[in-house]
Amino acid sequence: MNRKHLFLLLFAISALCQAADFKPARVLEIRDASEVGASTVSDSSEGLSGAPGFVPAVLSRCRIAVAIDKTSYTAVYPVNKHLKITDFSPGDFISARIEGNKLVIKTLDGKEMKSKIVSHEPIQATASPAK
């Protein structure tokens, strides 16, 4: 086996191993987490004679909480062409993995998106009511 074939084989195995890290994660919550950024855009329509004003800009984001291996992980992602708030609903299963302090999810179009985990906690088992 020559070097090229060996490299391709190792690359394929690496890709399969990385894809295997994803687990089915149940969406617990998805909600709007958009923010108004203060002083993000300068309005200099006054020219040199007046002081520039600041125009707030909206940063579209969504907060997603998922359950993986009896733990709830929450992260905030930008809303863009790959991820929209309406893409998932509570109870849906998505592909996700933990990578250090990041939650990595796969969007509907197959894009991997990473975001810092803002909270994580064990999921308490619900006891069935006694009869």
Pick the more confident residue, 46 or 115: 115
What is the rounded average pLDDT of the residues 36-40? Answer: 59
Distance between first and last Cα of the chain:
67
Q: Which of 2-16, 19-33, 55-69, 109-123 reaches the highest mean pLDDT?
A: 109-123
| Cα separation values, 76 from 65, 104, 128, Å | 9, 11, 33
For residue 15, the surrounding DSSP H or E stretch is helix 3-20
Gap between the Cα atoms of 114 and 103, Å rounded:
6
Percent of the chain with pLDDT strictly greater than 90: 55
pTM of the predicted model over 0.75: no
Q: What is the mean pLDDT of the chain?
A: 80
Q: What token pair was written down for 88?
A: 């998932």
| Per-residue pLDDT, 129 | 56
Which sign does the torsion angle of CA 40, 44, 49, 50 carry?
A: negative
Going by pLDDT thresholds of 50, 70 and 90, the confidence category of residue 59 is confident
| Per-residue pLDDT, 131 | 52
pLDDT for residue 106 is more than 70: yes
